[in-house]
Amino acid sequence: MPTVLITYDISTDTTRARAAATIQTWGDRIQRSVFVCTLDANDLHDLTKQLRQLVNPRTDSIHIVPLCGTCWNGITTIGQATVQPDTLYWAVP
């Protein structure tokens, strides 16, 4: 599943809180207005649709940036920043 970086700049507190809560149900917050989500195409479409309905396109902005595997593996962190490794699961029939 693809990984995306989602950032926002939203002018009103209520809308900002709703957007953050919405995104956080799909991924992990790494900064106040920056999230990392691993989503399939349908989930990304649903999340994008929900966010479009929340924001005011005249005053707010949201960026959804796809991260390829090579980009994700090349992330550099400094200080207390960390990159959470993907959690692998075993499925036993």
What pLDDT digit, counting tens, does each position of 12-60 carry?
999 999 999 999 999 999 999 999 999 999 999 999 999 999 999 999 9
Number of domains in the chain: 1
Mean pLDDT of 67-88: 72
Question: For residue 47, is it within any domain?
Answer: yes
**Domain carrying residue 65:** 3-73
Query: With a threshold of 0.85, does the pTM exceed it?
Result: no
Residue 2: burial class (beta carbons within 10 Å; 0-12, 13-18, 19+): middle
Instruction: Read off the CATH number of the domain in which 11 is found.
Output: 3.30.70.240
Q: Which of 48-57, 65-74, 75-84 has the lowest mean pLDDT?
A: 75-84
Question: For residue 91, is it within any domain?
Answer: no
The pLDDT of residue 8 is 96
